[in-house]
Amino acid sequence: MALTDKKIGVLMGGDSAEAEVSLKTGAAILNALVKNRYHAVPLKMSPDIWRVLEKESIEIVFNGLHGKGGEDGKIQGLLESMKIPYTGSGILASALGMDKAASRKIFIYHQIPVPDFYLLRRDQKSRFKTGAVSFPLPWVVKPCHEGSSVGVSIVETGDAITPAMEEAFRHDEEILIEPYIPGREIQVGILEEKALGVIEIKTKRKFYDYTAKYVSGMSDHIFPAPLPKALYGRVMALGLLAHQALGCRGYSRVDFILGKDQQFYLLEVNTLPGMTETSLLPEIARGAGISFEQLVERILSCAI
Ligand SMILES: Nc1ncnc2c1ncn2[C@@H]1O[C@H](COP(=O)(O)OP(=O)(O)O)[C@@H](O)[C@H]1O
Ligand SMILES: [Mg+2]
């Protein structure tokens, strides 16, 4: 049976901090599928989504979710149990990709440079002493399992540590403290287990925060990233290695900072990157000669 004969459910929304972004991702994916004559329907994520999947006789799920519940292995587990094929990474890779501490331990095993980090659980908060952190300020404080820069702060002075930690703990039970690495924001797009290309982001904001990501005019995207050939090749290889190290499937977007020392520091692998027409992975794909509709179609093909 051809893919065009299958009933595809495009999963979107949910209750994560990135639900709003997911609705845009989902709408763009749905639009591309319908344009390409697929039998696709929107599915709003809900606690009883299994009932909807059954009632609607969904045969394939295109996962347009972001963040908790959708990108962390949970929905992947449900879909595996229901024997419904789905796009993107499986349970373990999704769970690892969402966990910045667990994934970094794997990246270190594969000798991919990552920022140093200090992991703090909520129950350790009251006993925390800044002296326990082995690297000097400035720091970046962030939730361990979030996305879209939600809860991320740059800390430059001692006074700013407590509010930054409070902000990160609003979103997560575990937070990371890491050295702030000044440098260039570089991201690699992965499709079908190959590196597609490298994009650079230049933002007017202090860092690539939520506003920089989603308010138009706040950031410029430069494709291909203006890097010397050797550096471009190196970050393509590192991006693919990171994708493979977690065991990702189909597609991902890998975030780096290129430090002043000309070293790439891996920040994270996004297993369900933004998929609006102006999102970064679609932009990288377009630069590589792949239209948004083709990109969506190729991601769908990886679900089988
Ligand atoms: N160690 C760091 N040094 C410099 N900037 C950082 C660092 N960590 C995060 N940032 C900034 O914060 C943004 C979001 O961080 P990231 O770890 O990718 O979390 P998220 O999953 O929320 O995107 C990055 O794109 C970058 O601009
Ligand atoms: Mg990121």
The pLDDT value recorded for residue 304 is 72
The pLDDT value recorded for residue 201 is 98
Dihedral sign, Cα of residue 174, residue 185, residue 30, residue 57: negative
pLDDT at 18 over 80: yes
Q: Is 159 a catalytic residue?
A: no
Residue with tokens 């399992």: 145
- Rounded to 5 degrees, what are φ and ψ at 184? -100, 145
pLDDT class for 141, splitting at 50, 70, 90?
Answer: very high
pLDDT class for 278, splitting at 50, 70, 90?
Answer: confident
Q: Is 214 a catalytic residue?
A: yes
Using CA positions, which residue lies closest to atom 17 of ligand 1?
A: 267
For the segment 101-119, the average pLDDT, to the nearest whole number, is 98
Mean pLDDT of all residues in the chain?
97
Burial 164-203 (b: 16+ CB within 10 A, else e): bbebbbebbebbbbbbbbebbbbbbbbbeeebbbbbbbeb
Q: In the CATH hierarchy, which fold is given to the domain comprising 3-87?
A: Rossmann fold (3.40.50)
Q: Is 170 a catalytic residue?
A: no
Ligand 1 centroid, distance to 187 Cα (angstroms): 12
The pLDDT value recorded for residue 277 is 85
pLDDT class for 2, splitting at 50, 70, 90?
Answer: confident
For CATH 3.30.470.20, the residue range(s) in the chain are 97-113+182-271
d(CA 8, CA 191): 20
For CATH 3.40.50.20, the residue range(s) in the chain are 3-87
The CA angle 38-42-45, to the nearest 5 degrees, is: 140
Ligand 2 centroid, distance to 74 Cα (angstroms): 20
- State which ligand 1 atom lies nearest to the alpha carbon of 148: 22
Using CA positions, which residue lies closest to atom 13 of ligand 1?
A: 208
For the segment 199-220, the average pLDDT, to the nearest whole number, is 95
d(CA 271, CA 70): 10
Q: Is 149 a catalytic residue?
A: no
pLDDT at 36 over 90: yes
Q: Is 48 a catalytic residue?
A: no
Among 22, 38, 149, 253, the active-site one is: 253
pLDDT at 12 over 80: yes
The CA-based dihedral angle spanning residues 125, 131, 137, 143, taken in that order and rounded to the nearest 10 degrees: -20
Supply the angle between the helices 292-301 and 280-287 in degrees, to the nearest 10. Answer: 100
DSSP 8-state secondary structure symbol assigned to residue 162: H
**pLDDT cut 70: percent of the chain above it:** 100
- Residue to mutate, 149, 150, 155, 252, ligand 1, most ligand atoms under 8 Å from C-beta: 149
Using CA positions, which residue lies closest to atom 22 of ligand 1?
A: 149
d(CA 50, CA 70): 13
45 burial via Cβ count (<10 Å: 0-12, 13-18, 19+): buried
pLDDT at 301 over 90: yes
Q: Is 148 a catalytic residue?
A: yes
Q: Is 270 a catalytic residue?
A: yes
The pLDDT value recorded for residue 93 is 98
The pLDDT value recorded for residue 177 is 98
**pLDDT cut 90: percent of the chain above it:** 97
For the segment 213-218, the average pLDDT, to the nearest whole number, is 93
Ligand 2 centroid, distance to 256 Cα (angstroms): 8
| CA nearest to 7, candidates 66, 52, 73 | 52
Among 16, 63, 148, 153, the active-site one is: 148
pLDDT at 150 over 80: yes
Ligand 2 centroid, distance to 82 Cα (angstroms): 31
Among 38, 70, 274, 283, the active-site one is: 274
Taking only the tens place, the pLDDT of each residue in 167-206 is: 999 999 999 999 999 999 999 999 999 999 999 999 999 9
Taking the CA of 21 as reference, the closest ligand is 1
Taking only the tens place, the pLDDT of each residue in 233-265 is: 999 999 999 999 999 999 999 999 999 999 999
- Return the CATH number of 97-113+182-271, one of 3.30.470.20, 3.40.50.970, 3.90.1010.10, 3.30.70.1150: 3.30.470.20
Ligand 1 residue neighbourhood (C-beta within 6 Å):
115, 140, 142, 146-149, 152, 178, 180-181, 185, 207-208, 255, 257, 267-268
Using CA positions, which residue lies closest to atom 26 of ligand 1?
A: 208
- Return the CATH number of 118-179, one of 3.40.50.2300, 3.30.450.30, 3.40.50.880, 3.30.1490.20: 3.30.1490.20
The pLDDT value recorded for residue 244 is 98
Q: Is 185 a catalytic residue?
A: no
Ligand 2 centroid, distance to 268 Cα (angstroms): 6
